[in-house]
Amino acid sequence: MIQRYQGQQTQWRLSFVSDSEKAMTLTPGDGPCAWTVHVGSSDELTPERLRRAAAKAVKTMKELGGKTGVLDAAPLLPILGPAAGAALTQGAELALHEAPSFATGTPKEPITLWLDGDCDGLDQALQETAQLTRSICLARDLVNCPANKLTPALMAEEMTREAEALGIQCQVLDEHQARTLGMEAFLTVGSSALHPPRLIVLRYRGGGDEDPICLVGKGVTCDTGGYCLKAASSMKGIKGDMAGAAAVWGAVLALAANHVPVNVTAVIPSVENRISPDSYIPGDVIGSMSGKTIEVGNTDAEGRLILADGVTYAIREEHAARIVDIATLTGAVVGMFGFTTAGYLSNNEGFSDAFQAAYHRSGEQYWPLPTFPEYRKMIESPLADLSNTSSDGCGTITAGLFIGAFAEDKPWIHIDIAGTAWVDSPRFEYQTKGATGAGVTTLYELCKGYAQEV
């Protein structure tokens, strides 16, 4: 965590100033390691802009070999208040957080930063942001973890270890317990591998006795495609197919660490999608916890199968008041929005408005997708209640609507982060190569928006 500056000797001083002609450029200051970072005019100043500016500045410092630095927020605090300090520290920390290496040899020397400047409420804002940043980094680490070191059971262990340390109530269901609940869609995918599936449930109770918001995250620890095997060139990122799971875990950790007065339950169906002698194959018809039957059109459309049961579990067993599912679900969303923007759809205007307000606060980019009745027809099946593939394209929308068919009458949002969860090269300055931690801050803000007044 970035501490408050108390006169330590540092190699670098990065001062952030607004209302300059030059937007977000670095200019040398009066010493060899004193730089002034121009962040643009004060009427256009946003926390997101500052996250990017701080990230760019510390990456530059790092490239030039700097090991210690102070971020001077003083000129910006009168303009944006404590949010300026929070955004600068978050941008800097995220920019420096890299995927852990398994290479042998001497580890890199760490970089230490401090924040200079003061205003009312700064300590509290820095505390909250530090917890959020930590959760984003934990989510990134989990997604970066190779699949051979993160089976569903190992993911359950890692998630519950961090959650229990924050007083979150944890339950991990194995395949036998899932069988008792009738989670056939989840188990069908889950039995494609030697490593058995797990349903991970994390219950954070910061609110009163109201029913929880349930965050359902796709936890496919590796997605080979199953019998509809992916091409070798599409297999590089398959370990990252649990980024939805990491996002809901990170959000719940941050809510608990910050004692946000709200009830939230993370529901994480975790499986490997592989090939075994008894794996499911295209043409199979399977059941689900809801009772609905599903025709399997493609074994690589596994995410919606496990999420369907995750959503039914959230309604039946966790009494969800509202449901969000989040997943690296379709290649189609990457074609539409690229690596900077996630797509979402919803069955409820009020909930959707709350989500929009949440991503405006977090600074992450999302864009809504339509849910016209014609799209529902595309996932009809001649021999079952639903098909897990579309008969007529529109891959992202139809995948979402498939999951929505299990949401019953609950306000529900589906988020597809297949494009934003992973970057081979950073699209925003505060990203580093690999997992981005997509979704953590927006889900946190969404749940915080439902917090009780205290």
Q: Among all residues, which ones are annotated catalytic?
A: 230, 304
The residue from 25, 112, 171, 298 that contacts ligand BES (CB under 6 A) is 298
**Which does residue 395 touch among Zn ion, ligand BES, none (CB within 5 to 8 A, set by kind)?**
ligand BES
Options 78, 100, 331, 335; binder of ligand BES; rule CB under 6 A: 331
Q: How far is the CB of 166 from ligand BES (least distance, A)?
A: 29
The CB-of-300 to Zn ion minimum distance in angstroms stands at 4
Minimum CB separation of residue 357 from Zn ion in Å reads 29
Using CB under 6 A, count the residues that bind ligand BES.
17
Residue 407 Cβ, how far from ligand BES at the closest point, in Å?
20
Does 441 engage in binding with ligand BES (CB under 6 A)?
A: no
Contact between 91 and ligand BES (CB under 6 A)? no
Nearer residue to ligand BES within complex by CB, 374 or 424? 424
Name which of 302 and 429 has its Cβ closer to ligand BES: 302
SS (H, E, C) the chain: CCEECCCCCCCEEEEEECCCCCEEEEEECCCCCEEEEEECCHHHCCHHHHHHHHHHHHHHHHHCCCCEEEEECCCCHHHHCHHHHHHHHHHHHHHHCCCCCCCCCCCCCCCEEEEECCCCCHHHHHHHHHHHHHHHHHHHHHHHCCHHHCCHHHHHHHHHHHHHHCCCEEEEECHHHHHHCCCHHHHHHHCCCCCCCEEEEEEEECCCCCCCEEEEECEEEEECCCCCCCCHHHCCCHHHCCHHHHHHHHHHHHHHHCCCCCEEEEEEEEEEECCCCCCCCCCCEECCCCCCCEECCCCCCCHHHHHHHHHHHHHHCCCCCEEEEEECCCHHHHHHHCCCCEEEEECCHHHHHHHHHHHHHHCCCEEECCCCHHHHHCCCCCCCCEECCCCCCCHHHHHHHHHHCCCCCCCEEEEECCCCCEECCCCCCCCCCEECCCCHHHHHHHHHHCCCCC
CB 132 to ligand BES: min, Å: 25
Q: How far is the CB of 334 from ligand BES (least distance, A)?
A: 6
Residue 189 binds ligand BES, judged by CB under 6 A: no
Site for ligand BES in 29-88 (CB under 6 A): none
Query: What residues between 401 and 440 interact with ligand BES by CB under 6 A?
Result: 418
Instruction: By CB under 6 A, tell whether 265 contacts ligand BES.
Output: no
Q: Residue 300, interface with Zn ion (CB under 5 A)?
A: yes
Q: Which is nearer to Zn ion, 72 or 309 (CB)?
A: 309
331 binds, among ligand BES, Zn ion, none (CB under 5 to 8 A by kind): ligand BES
Q: Is 303 in the site for Zn ion (CB under 5 A)?
A: yes
| Residue 132 contact among Zn ion, ligand BES, none, beta carbon within 5 to 8 Å by kind | none
Q: Contact residues for ligand BES (CB under 6 A)?
A: 223, 237, 241, 298, 300-303, 328-332, 334, 389, 395, 418
Q: Contact residues for Zn ion (CB under 5 A)?
A: 220, 223, 241, 300, 302-303
